[in-house]
Amino acid sequence: MVSKRYRLIIVFQILLIAITTSAFFWTLDQEYMLITSSSLVLVWILQIIYLIWYLQKINRDLLKFITAVRYNDVSISFDNKKNIDPYFKELYNELNHIIHEISEVRSEKEIEHQYFHNTVKHAGTGIIAYDDNGKIEICNNAALSLLNLSSLKNVTDFDNVKQGLTQNIINIKPGTTKLIKLIIENEIIQLSIKAAYFKIKERNIKLLSLQNIKTEIDQSEVDAWQKLIRVLTHEIMNSVSPIKLLSGSLIGMFEEDDKIKKINEIDNSTIENSLLGLKTIRKRSIGLSNFVETYKNLTQIPKPNFSIFELSKLVEHLDTLLKEDLNKKNIDLQFSCSPDNLKLYADEKLIEQVLINLIKNSSEALLNTKSPCLEIKGELFNDKPLIKVIDNGKGITKNEIENIFIPFFTTKEKGSGIGLSLSRQILHLHGGNISVKSEPNIETTFTLHF
């Protein structure tokens, strides 16, 4: 409706200009009308000026409005506009309404910003954000307290805490967690740092969250040591107790009332029993020596020799290596991989050792299982490779699953209890982990995370 009336007014103004022009040329042919002609020229000029002004009137206000919006100026208002053309009153009302809405949104954003700022500032977890140039965008009190800094302006300031810390933090990939040990004011802290990326107006921002988990780690270490000591005590006492009893019995055969028996008091039966006891002591001593040697091997894993290789070729080699033993147990090793050419960056020999251990464990768990099934799966999760070893054997109970990675803990009669512990250490050396899920007699899955 407004645009229609606006066009009519413009057309009317043009018609008036045309009439004035015609009248001007008509007066030129008339004598004694010079003054009238001059007057018409003046009227014609005023009409042109008025038309231009009228055409620019709304444009000026719209330009003013758009400029204000562009620069977030919400102080502009058209409420005090005098002599508003009634045809454009509705337009000005809409402009005022839009300005009011922008002001409300701006006010809400400011409130949200203050809420976010105060939340981050008082959060117990350290939070730091910086851009591609290393400029710190966000740094809360918890982060400064953890690092014992009064301020943090640039990512390079991390080197003030520990030389090389800046590079360590820059190298943290999004979605990963890194543990960094620091000594601050003669106190050791264990920082768990997580990283994430996001964009703000085409600017890349890296967000870090920092937590001191030393207390949790200390408690976990204490729990682990207590469990390990219980297992070690059990294994050692199993060897030491028989040796103690047998040695006491042997002493009793050759000594009475703290005096050595005479040669004529010792018969062949005593000698035979003594030899039997000594052989038993030697056997238990060898077992204890092997146990100590096993512990030694557990603490001397070689550093990984990283290389790139295809998982399918590794599994093919394992199938050839273990096929005869698996066939004897009627176990068919299945393999699937997605993508088919899934590659790993790891120490091939160490990963082979882990898989051999897991396959042997699964084959033992599949004994007396109807339709035994053993499968190795390779896949990608969040662009990171996973290897799963799956079987439908007897599985692992809830009580056992908490302890299976503890050195020397075993549920097997002749097991050493170091296979899974070694496997976990090997994965840790690769920056990964090993996890397990088990539903007894249904499915057990060991997953290697890289």
Q: Tell me phi and psi for residue 102, to 5 degrees.
A: -60, -40
User: Which residue, among 105, 76, 103, 70, has the nearest Cα to 92 in the 3D structure?
Assistant: 76
Return the structure tokens found at 336.
Answer: 């699937």
Please write the tens of the pLDDT for every residue from 45-79: 887 887 777 777 767 777 776 777 666 666 666 65
Where do the domains of the chain lie?
Answer: 2-104, 125-212, 218-298, 307-449
Q: 20 near 47, Cβ under 8 Å?
A: yes
Residue 266 identity (one-letter amino acid): I
Distance, in Å, from the CA atom of 167 to the CA atom of 159, rounded to the nearest integer, reads 9
Please write the tens of the pLDDT for every residue from 377-436: 999 888 889 999 999 888 888 877 777 776 665 665 555 556 787 788 888 888 888 888
Please state the pTM of the whole predicted model.
Answer: 0.46
Q: Give 307-449's CATH code, choosing from 3.30.360.10, 3.30.1360.200, 3.40.47.10, 3.30.565.10.
A: 3.30.565.10
Do 125-212 and 307-449 show the same overall fold?
A: no
CATH code linked to domain 125-212:
3.30.450.20
Please write the tens of the pLDDT for every residue from 264-286: 777 787 778 778 878 877 877 77
Residue 424 neighbours by CB under 8 Å, 6+ apart: 405, 433, 434
Distance, in Å, from the CA atom of 253 to the CA atom of 271, rounded to the nearest integer, reads 9
SS3 content of the chain, % helix, strand, coil (to 5): 55, 20, 25
Is pLDDT at 335 greater than 80 in this prediction?
yes
Q: What is the pLDDT of residue 1?
A: 47
Query: What is the tally of helices (H) and strands (E) in the chain?
Result: 11, 14
Bridge partners, residue 259, by sequence: 256
User: Which residue, among 305, 304, 292, has the nearest Cα to 232 in the 3D structure?
Assistant: 292
Specify the residue for token string 């998982």: 311
Q: What's the chain's Rg over C-alpha atoms?
A: 43
